[in-house]
Structure 1
Amino acid sequence: MASDEAGSDGGGDAVRYEVTAAGVAVVTLNRPDRLNTWGSDISSGFYSAMDRAEADPAVRAIVLTGNGRAFCAGAHLGAMATIGDSLGGEDADGPDVSKIVGERHPHFLTTLRKPVIAAVNGACVGIGLTHALMCDVRFAADGAKFATSFSRRGLIAEYGISWILPRLVGLGAAMDLLLSGRTFSADEAARLGLVKDVVAPDRLMAAAMEYAEDLAAHCSPASLAIIKEQTYGDAERDVVDASARAEKLMGESLLRPDVVEGIVSFLEKRPPNFPVLQEGL
């Protein structure tokens, strides 16, 4: 497993980056002393790691997790205090919250061409929850706790969580979680459909990696990229447009070698050998 670190602001280990021989990039938020709370050091390292995984043709799936007792326990309060200093000042545009969030909003994860699997190892709160929900599939450790928390901090449903949460759990459950800001368990998250599986903490990474490695070994990178774009894009389209676009994409897929390899490998009862993801899909 190749390993590297990414970060800024003098914190070169804010995010760890590793790639396995199976083609899975593992991105680890690495500020366990502050429960991996989101700040500029983590955000810059996170974007760098995700860009690196997206650009690497050897990477076919990404696993995102946290080091220590938390996945990401919300925004770094020290950074929040700095932002708060600008309240009531002369800046007509208000506080610069981008100093916390960074250059991109969490929904950029939905635009990646490669599947992103969250391995939620502990507290997953606020912007940490938003990032986890923007991943494509989630596993959680037994005992992990979740919360939106925004209403209990005088905040609003931030950075796309009001878009993604109702699509995952339905409007009624989303309103409960957003309005109350209450803490809920990994088991409840599974019942609501927020996480695929709840596993013992010492099995979490194995479960997430097994899933990611199965995608890497048996799924066409082109198919994964297009299915992601379809699924998130179709949320904004009506069924007629979505169906017509799917027909067009199906015709294009039949021209790629992935289809031949998928069928032949199935008939020959062997693992597929799909080509790497090409630019322009």
Structure 2
Amino acid sequence: MTDYPDVLYTVKDRIGTITLNRPDRLNAYTPAMADGVRRAMAAAAQDGQVRVIVLTGAGRGFCAGADMEVLNATLKGERGSTGNPEDVAPAFASAYGPKLDQDFADMTRFAYFMRTKKPIIAAINGPAAGMGLIMALYADIRFAADKAVLTTAFAQRGLIAEHGISWLLPKLVGPAHALDLLLSARRISGKDAEQLGLVNRAFPQESFVQDVQAYARLLADTVSPRSMAVMKAQVWKSCFQNFGEALATADAEMPPSFQWPDFKEGVSHFLEKRAPRFADI
């Protein structure tokens, strides 16, 4: 286990788990936490033994939004240190598939999630509000406990749609649902979020950790890390492409994929009816 600012990082069974660790405050967001998440994510991205990254919260909450004491300090013109994001920037340089370095260049929020070459799963175990919800939206896949509560919160604080949520939310649920969630700041359950398409699936609270781990192990144990890296880059790049450009990207990526050791292994393990032994990245 590695202890970063307001964050714990563990690796087990090729799954890197980043845990927001302020349970007494429902993991309310702080500048130190932003730095901790960034450093833990960089460690996971660079660790060949990690194939999947899970982001979750300690205790009852995922992340209850910005710590109100931090908001109060912001009103007074005080800002906490977030470390130097550029210290870990090389960990997120595009290495597989189409380049995303310019499209998601921002390092102070969570755009580097898209450039991380490994799939990121947000495991929303409890309340996710404001900045906490935004953090989850930057993940590649989201699971929520059925009894978790999610809200954008910003309109009730006299704020705006912050940190890219106005770009992310319509892509996930469409403009009408995005405006509903932003304007009303109403609270929805994990099950409601599943029905809207805000999360991939809502799991029962009682089995949530086990269900998320089972999916993470599916990715870690049965599919090619290189394939996942390229596919992830293709999907995020497509947000800036038309259909023809997306086809051209796929056409460019296909010939190299036939030369990968993973392609040979993918065919071999299928024919030999055994577990795959894909290379780490």
TM-score, length basis structure 1: 0.88
Residues 262 and 278 in structure 2, CA contact (< 8 A), matched pair in contact too: yes
Aligned to 1:40: 31
Q: CA offset at residue 4 of structure 1?
A: 2.2
Q: How does 1:161-240 map to 2 (within 5 A)?
A: 161-240=165-244
Residues 107 and 131 in structure 1, CA contact (< 8 A), matched pair in contact too: no
Matches of 2:129 and 2:186, distance apart in 1: 10
Match of 1:259 among 260, 263, 268: 263
Matched length: 259
Aligned to 1:5: 3
Q: CA offset at residue 238 of structure 1?
A: 0.4
Aligned to 2:95: none
- State the SS of the aligned residue for 1:146: strand
- CA gap of 1:41–1:99, structure 2 versus 1, over 3 A, is closer
Aligned to 1:123: 127
Matches of 1:97 and 1:235, distance apart in 2: 33
Off by >6 Å, runs of 4+ in structure 1: none
- State the SS of the aligned residue for 2:62: strand
- State the SS of the aligned residue for 1:210: helix
Q: CA offset at residue 65 of structure 1?
A: 0.6
Q: CA offset at residue 83 of structure 1?
A: 1.1
Q: How does 1:54-133 map to 2 (within 5 A)?
A: 54-86=45-77, 104-133=108-137
Any stretches of 5+ residues in structure 2 without a counterpart? 86-106
Matches of 1:32 and 1:142, distance apart in 2: 20
Match of 2:20 among 18, 29, 40: 29
Q: CA offset at residue 42 of structure 1?
A: 1.3
Which amino acid in structure 2 is aligned with residue 57 of structure 1?
G
Q: CA offset at residue 96 of structure 1?
A: 5.8
Residues 118 and 137 in structure 1, CA contact (< 8 A), matched pair in contact too: yes
Matches of 1:205 and 1:165, distance apart in 2: 25
Matches of 2:206 and 2:235, distance apart in 1: 32
Higher relative contact order (CA 8 A, sep 6+): 2
Matches of 1:119 and 1:236, distance apart in 2: 27
Q: CA offset at residue 99 of structure 1?
A: 5.7
- State the SS of the aligned residue for 1:26: strand
Give me the CA root mean square deviation.
1.7
Matches of 1:111 and 1:135, distance apart in 2: 11
Which amino acid in structure 2 is aligned with residue 15 of structure 1?
V
TM-score, length basis structure 2: 0.88
- State the SS of the aligned residue for 1:246: helix
Residues 6 and 17 in structure 1, CA contact (< 8 A), matched pair in contact too: yes
* Percent of aligned pairs with the same amino acid: 41
Matches of 2:273 and 2:49, distance apart in 1: 24
